[in-house]
Amino acid sequence: MNPLSTQAIAAGWDQDRVARLRAFLVGEHLDALIVPRWDNQHFEYVPPTNERLAYLTGFSGSWGLAVLTRKELLLFVDGRYQEQAHNQPNAAALSIHHLFENPPERWLAGAAKSGWRIGFDAEILSPDFYDRLESTCSQTGAVLVPLHRDPFHDSWTDRPEPPSGLAVVVTSQWAGQSFDSKCDHVAARIRDLGASHLLDVVPDNVAWLLNLRGSDLEYCPVVLGRLFIDTHGRVDLFADADQMAPAMSTLSHRVTLHEPRAFSKVLEERAQEARVLVLDGARSPQSARNIMEESGVRVVRRSNPITELKAIKNSAELVAMADAALRDSGVWVELLHWLEDRIGESDPRVTELEVEKQLERLRRRLPDYVHPSFRTISAADANAAYAHYAAPPDGGRTIGRKSVFLLDAGGQFRQGGTTDTTRTWCFTEPEHQVRRDATLALKGHIALARQVFPDGTLGHSLDALARMAAWDHYRDYDHGTGHGVGHFLSVHEFPQRLQKAATEAPLRKGMVITIEPGLYRDQEYGIRHEILYEIVAAEVPGWLAFRPLAFVPFNRLLIDLSLLNDAEMRWIDDYHGNVREQLATLELEANVWHWLVAHTQPLAMR
């Protein structure tokens, strides 16, 4: 295990950590302390040095929040992580709650007494979350106390060092747009919004705007930094000077670099000249909002203009993303060929972890491959019914001839791509129910993927198209249908989403998004079919369509033809025709190519 990994930090949990934090609590005259998993960059990923939640609670999941009081340690996690939290070794030392069904503010409403002092890091709590807590406190008479130093600073002795990777400047040609031009666009958007400034602390936005990449996070190639920008496109950047050194000659005509800890001080200065600040209420520091409002600056919460601009890829980005997805598809075909070969041996013993490692080996042959874009989900049979399963160090389940095997994996490619693909595979004819579930999920995928729709349609309008076929059989899946993907950036990019919950951002030409319906049977198996798509102009102006970027065959053994109509069969045959045509350019080995040809025959011929 990587000594700096979240898992390692969580595994090292002991009661002393809690005792030391509680001493801090007492020393600061606090009654409770809020410790979220996210850090002051308000992002899905955090560097090991900021894995405060894992350190304090032993919980290694990707989202959650703790409340430490003088008597209790509460852990709030969502539905995905209830089982994991209850099964972790120190579960008895925790009081585990549901993050949405019994959120911290509701718990506080019952537990916090009048006069309670509740400490929080004002660079980590967002204005939206702060307001929810504040509203509870105003009812109970408790007080929220912003902290002036990191509560973990003194007590976390073996704390990992902060990341120190150097910023990598990408060219305008690679990015498809110069840093100057991006800043001008953002400045124009700030003006259009009637604002004077924009705050953005989210790492992939900062990387996109500044045309920088880095190596500060495990799955997302960014260099950490936060920024503040005005209507002239002048930028205050809060980041480590050593890390930013390689970039400053390119940036310095617009960018003033500040130490990260100068954040509040510089914002206080800027507040003197600011009039209206725009920020994302859910992904910004409460401290910034507070500083601005105390100086009479109006703070407008809305979706971040940089998030919106970044989501619409330019042609350089789209070409590179398509290229990476195609080359990654070649790796997938090699892997599936290898896997079928291994399973065909007389005594097949392939573990989930072995598949993950083989995929990594194959991907390493692509010269621009950097690392996975998320922890690979290599899951056989019952393991695939868990959301976000990760094969354990002992290898996990063995994949056998009768297994239903799900692989969800993506990579980061330096030439300019982030990928994300899922296939479900069988090696002999599966049970009827497996085949039916897989075909229903595939019908859902097709229904959405083939649909043309009006420009600007909202993602929540399209989500159900991928569920109808499953609904007809009283089945559904408990996750979104698709998420945005970045250009050598985050694999979960905002704002584009296909999901049940309301989405604010209209779908536009140039966005890149996954379609990934699934069906799951607890204790049995999981099915998911995921392809990365570019949103393109349809034949008629004002209409959009999905164009696949990844080309990996679907497993014929999992398709029940009796459930498909002609249009669906045609879609599968067309897609498989495209798989062959696209992958023909990759010069795969002859045996891999023959395997591919066999797996992409028209359905009627198989």
**Which residues of the shown chain bind a copy of itself in the complex (CB under 8 A)?**
109, 135, 138-139, 194, 276, 298, 451-454, 457-458, 460-465, 468, 471-472, 474, 476, 500-504, 538-540, 543, 565
In degrees, to the nearest 5, what angle opens at C-alpha 327 toward C-alphas 315 and 574? 80
Q: Closest distance between a copy of itself and the C-beta of residue 451, in Å?
A: 6
Q: For residue 129, give both structure tokens.
A: 């979350």
CB of 478 to a copy of itself, least distance (A): 10
Whole-number Cα distances in Å, 252 to 179, 180, 188, 269: 11, 11, 20, 20
CB of 286 to a copy of itself, least distance (A): 20
Q: Which is nearer to a copy of itself, 54 or 449 (CB)?
A: 449
Task: Tell me how far, at minimum, the Cβ of 502 lies from a copy of itself, in Å.
Answer: 3
Pick 293 or 323: Cβ nearer a copy of itself = 293
Burial profile 137-155: b = 16 or more Cβ within 10 angstroms, e = fewer: beebebbbbebeebbbeeb
Q: Which of 96/440 has CB closer to a copy of itself?
A: 440
Paired tokens of 227 = 């920024």
264 token code pair: 């509040």
Q: How far apart are CA 470 and CA 561, in angstroms?
A: 16
| Shortest Å distance, C-beta 199 to a copy of itself | 19
Q: How far is the CB of 537 from a copy of itself (least distance, A)?
A: 12
Closest distance between a copy of itself and the C-beta of residue 453, in Å?
Answer: 6
- Beta carbon nearer to a copy of itself, 291 or 462: 462
Report helix angle 127-140 to 286-294, nearest 10.
80
Burial class (CB in 10 A: 0-12, 13-18, 19+), 301: middle
Given a contact cutoff of 8 angstroms between Cβ atoms, the answer to whether 34 and 125 are in contact is yes
Q: Which amino acid is at 519?
A: L
Q: Count the residues in the chain.
A: 606
Give me the least distance between CB of 117 and a copy of itself, in Å please: 21
C-beta of 345 vs 504, nearer to a copy of itself: 504
Nearer to a copy of itself, 105 or 368 (CB): 105
Least distance from C-beta 460 to a copy of itself, angstroms?
5
Residue 223, both tokens: 């260099």
Nearer to a copy of itself, 86 or 191 (CB): 191
Between the two ends of the chain, the Cα-to-Cα distance in Å is 45
598 membership: H or E segment, kind and range: helix 590-599
CB 421 within 8 A of CB 550: yes
Closest listed residue to residue 242, CA positions, set 256, 259, 227: 259
Secondary element (H or E) of residue 105: helix 104-111
For residue 199 the two structure tokens come to 């705050």
